[in-house]
Amino acid sequence: MSESTQLAGKHVLLGLSGGIACYKSAELVRLLIKAGATVQVMMSEAAEAFITPVTMQALSNQPVLMSQWDAREPNNMAHINATRRADVMLVAPASADFIAKLVQGRANDLLSLTALARPAQRCALLVAPAMNREMWAHPATQRNIAQLRADGAVVLGPGSGDQACGEIGDGRMLEAAELRDELIAFFQPKLLAGKTLLITAGPTFEPIDPVRGLTNRSSGKMGFAIARAAAEAGAEVTLVAGPVHLATPRGVRRVDVQTALQMYDAVLPRAAAHDVFVATAAVADWRPAQMTEHKIKKDGSSASTAPSFELTENPDILAAVAALADKPFCVGFAAESRDLLKHAREKLLRKGVPLIVGNLGPATFGRDDNALLLVDAQGQRELPHNDKLSLARELIREISARLQEKL
């Protein structure tokens, strides 16, 4: 699924209450539309003090709704019509005052009136808090947030960091890209709700000396995409990552490691407590038997010889997890350079796992797209070439179906 179709067919009612974070909402409109959504903006009177309706109209290409007495609506009921057309109502920013109004059921302006009048069964309410850290931490706000969740709203964030007032702490509205991703995740089927997944991703790095080592070209993108897709599907996800330069997917617990032994030590104690283990990482099969204390240097003479290394085998993480008495459902990855089906099937038997996902490593390392081959005892099935997140979502659907078969 391309970036421009992630929210295709979705109509978002975006509400703005008062707060400096309104400037982020302008970028959010742009990103939602770029992802395929249509966006109707609704602003409180306080929001107009921070950003103009003209700006939001220009970005959304829709008239901005501001008054409950808006005569442009044929029936003069903008608070009814707006949510009947929407798939979701997202309030970003949601001020402390507006959150209090939601909890109390107050409806003295168009935005709060619309939130109260929406058909809750089909138009969910998502709220992105934005306020000073002391306002966020205040017991009244925390009571209101707890009640808002109990009433069925989804609270997104807040983030933490520098605030407009000059203070630092919790209460920042999430960034526009984060809110877009949260909205995309909201619409994904919760196929793994209540399940726990342990995922490995990226390469390992086996040091030869303090500055050099044995590694491979794995970027970790496929494993990180699977972690994101699993979290979108409602799972609790732990991601054990080798040395990669990738942001942690929201809602995912991350454990960073360098070597195969470190990855083994991170995975084995956790594995039995998870429902699924997905071994995406390209783990080095071998490591130097000993690491040289100092950097190995050339002596500058023409007679110098290249150093030699004794290698020792790394533990097989996937096979070790598959051999546990209380093992999770295990999914292995096979990154091959040729004879993909042959090697994937051999790995399936050798590791003793129910599913191997094969791909041609040199054709996908570092790229944002891939093609996968699912191999099990019954046969094989291709997942055609696509972006890695779309393939990850398809793999999550496959894993969910296989878990259901086990019940």
Six token digits for residue 398: 């496959």
Q: Catalytic residue at 165? A: yes
Beta strand 154-155 with 88-94: parallel, antiparallel or unpaired? unpaired
CA 306 and chain centroid, separation: 45
Dihedral sign from CA coordinates of 9, 127, 182, 167: positive
Six token digits for residue 90: 């997202």
Query: How buried is 30 (Cβ within 10 angstroms: 0-12 exposed, 13-18 middle, 19+ buried)?
Result: middle
Residue 244 amino acid letter: V
Q: How many CB atoms lie within 10 A of CB 337?
A: 10
Cα→Cα distances 6→1, 29, 165, Å = 6, 14, 35
- For residue 289, give the DSSP letter: S
Beta-bridge partner residues of 379: 376
Task: Tell which residue, 274, 282, 186, has the closest CA to residue 237.
Answer: 274
Candidates 22, 123, 165, 330; catalytic one? 165
Phi/psi for 110 (5° steps) reads -60, -40
Task: Tell which residue, 73, 53, 50, has the closest CA to residue 62.
Answer: 53
Does residue 126 contact residue 183 with C-beta atoms inside 8 Å? Answer: yes
State the number of CA atoms in the 13 A half-sphere of 224 facing the CB.
24
Does residue 68 contact residue 79 with C-beta atoms inside 8 Å? Answer: yes
Maximum distance among all alpha carbons in the chain? 92
Phi/psi for 385 (5° steps) reads -50, 130
Separation of alpha carbons 341 and 339, rounded Å: 6
Name, in order, each residue with C-beta under 8 angstroms of 122's C-beta and a sequence gap of 6 or more: 87
CA 135 and chain centroid, separation: 28
Q: Which residues are catalytic?
A: 165
